[in-house]
Structure 1
Amino acid sequence: MPAPNDDVLELWRRVVNCRVEEIEEWHTTPASSSVGTRAPGARWSVGQLAGIRTAELLAVPVAEWTAADHAHVRRVAGFVRRHRAQWPRGDVRERRWRHALRNWGHDPLWEGRLTLSALDGQGQVLVDGEPVGTLSTSAEDALVLHSLVLEESWRGRGVGSAVLHQLAVDHDGRVRAELDPTPGAADVRALLVRRHFDAPTPDSSVLTLVGW
């Protein structure tokens, strides 16, 4: 069997954030069945079949992965990356876009796993109850986001986008960003722009959520 490839393992860690039981339970829902293509008469869609394979692979030690398993990881990573790049405007909690991603084993909102503590001040970003970063906010006519910093091992896993979505949902889209000149601010700004924030000038540090 092929030796585990660090790049493949990193892809897997970044794009699969659903547990086996979460994938299996999701596949029993009407929302899961409502998206994706399927062969005539087939019970499962292409995405559901991929998610079933993912759930099976989560239970297999990495040292026992086959070449086909490695190929599946790359396939899942490709699908998740392409679809996350098309993040729709507004509240995506019940959108077909999110349903399709969940079929494959990725929840862009980290539902049930993400918690934001102590807003209106310095707070923590927690996943499964464990701190993975910090955010600083204040409350005015809109929620103002001053900083969002994730631990290095949690960057690139979609947590930042999920945080922004939760903030927008909780404040009816009234969110403004006034970024402190801290390390990583440029990365946060780029993330905000991708998530439908707008700036009065290209280099402005003040961004406002639009199209929510």
Structure 2
Amino acid sequence: MAASEQISAELWDEFHTVVNMTSRELQEWLNVESAGEETEELPDRSGKATGRRVLEILGKRRTDLTEDDVAVMRRVRDIVRSQRGPDLEPTAGGADWRHGLMDIGHDPLKPV
């Protein structure tokens, strides 16, 4: 069975709900996060691996997803839901917590 057949409309919608940063916002965040005082990663290597995968998925159509993409989507959805709960209302928290969520495309201060 193809990955596009495995992904449900529910997972697709949930992923695009919990990932509330645009591709541009996420790319800019990943670039900032990986920039150091003296060096800066290349754009395709900046940020955490999961964040880069989320960025790739955001650029795909549902029919083009791989099994690995679907696994990443489930993992991101589960992480955000476990840390945020069902309502996803804007919530302030510690900087490390917020930045960890932003690394995978979810800004807890941004309205859904």
- The TM-score normalised by the length of structure 2 is 0.71
The offset of 1:60, in angstroms, is: 1.0
Greater than 2 Å deviation, 4+ residue runs: none
Structure-2 separation of matches of 1:53 and 1:82 = 20
Q: How does 1:7-22 map to 2 (within 5 A)?
A: 7-22=10-25
- The TM-score normalised by the length of structure 1 is 0.40
The offset of 1:10, in angstroms, is: 2.4
**Conservation of the 8 A alpha-carbon contact between 1:11 and 1:74:** no
Pairwise CA RMSD of aligned residues?
2.5
- Structure of greater Rg: 1
Q: Deviations over 1:102-141 (max 9, x none)?
A: 000011111xxx5xxxxxxxxxxxxxxxxxxxxxxxxxxx
More helix per residue: 1 or 2? 2
Residue 80 in 1 paired to residue 80 in 2? yes
Residue 67 in 1 paired to residue 67 in 2? yes
The number of equivalent residue pairs is 95
More strand per residue: 1 or 2? 1
**Conservation of the 8 A alpha-carbon contact between 1:20 and 1:58:** yes
What percentage of aligned pairs have identical amino acids?
A: 33
Structure 1: unaligned runs, 5 residues or longer: 34-42, 115-158, 160-212
Aligned position for 1:138? none
Structure-1 separation of matches of 2:56 and 2:16 = 15
The offset of 1:44, in angstroms, is: 6.2
Q: Deviations over 1:3-37 (max 9, x none)?
A: 241221122122111111111110122xx35xxxx
Q: Deviations over 1:118-169 (max 9, x none)?
A: xxxxxxxxxxxxxxxxxxxxxxxxxxxxxxxxxxxxxxxxx4xxxxxxxxxx
Structure 2: unaligned runs, 5 residues or longer: 35-44, 86-90
Q: Highest relative contact order (Cα 8 Å, sep 6+), 1 or 2?
A: 2
The offset of 1:91, in angstroms, is: 4.4
Structure-2 separation of matches of 1:23 and 1:75 = 17
Aligned position for 2:39? none
Aligned position for 1:56? 56
